[in-house]
Chain A
């Protein structure tokens, strides 16, 4: 079992819809959780971080964390074509390293 798992996609949603991206992790000791967005040919950029169970909202983005189920998700409301990218889930297990999933490719079509 991979330490951080994501569906590779592509996830296709129409413009204006809600995109839901999911991530599961194996280490129950994980402390911090991050979502990165990576456009083709570019480096990953942080869009959300979450540390406690529940929801965290930032603009059109909502991160959700459920430590009991070892599950973290990212919701993108009112999806735009500019949101089309690969979304990487990353988990910190109280070490110096982040463990990354392989990413989910999101396509938002007009």
Chain B
């Protein structure tokens, strides 16, 4: 039981390049989330998916797109990376019960030069 997995762990991009961050969970959770974490800013929600086939914007969606490929997988795409997108990105998943909490993946450290 791997929980939430993310790839890659580290990535360096040049400004304008594109890339996709992959996330998968094996807990049969309905909801999945993408956050970014910057020093002093806490966790900021980029996009989330309450169920397969649905996605919604979070607090900081600009410059990102997402795809909920199936119940297990939720990917985050940067179409044209900018230095302001240098951050640590966390994927999380959550069950559907009232008290179900979120479980986080190990994170992706992205640097945009």
Interface residues of A (CB under 8 A from B): 8, 31-32, 34, 42-46, 49, 51, 88, 90, 92, 94, 96-98, 100-103
Contact = CB atoms under 8 A, between A and B. Distances in A.
Contact of A97 (B48, B99, B101, B107): B48
Interface of B: 31, 33, 40-43, 45, 48, 50, 58, 90, 94, 98-99, 101-107
A101 B42 contact: yes
Per DSSP, are chain A's interface residues mostly helix, strand or loop, or mixed? loop
A85 to B, nearest CB: 14
B43 A100 contact: yes
Given A42-B107, A96-B94, 6 more contacts: A43-B107, A49-B101, A51-B98, A88-B42, A90-B101, A90-B102
A32 B102 contact: no
In the complex, which of the residues A34, A42, A96, A103 has the most CB atoms of chain B within 10 Å of its own CB atom?
A96
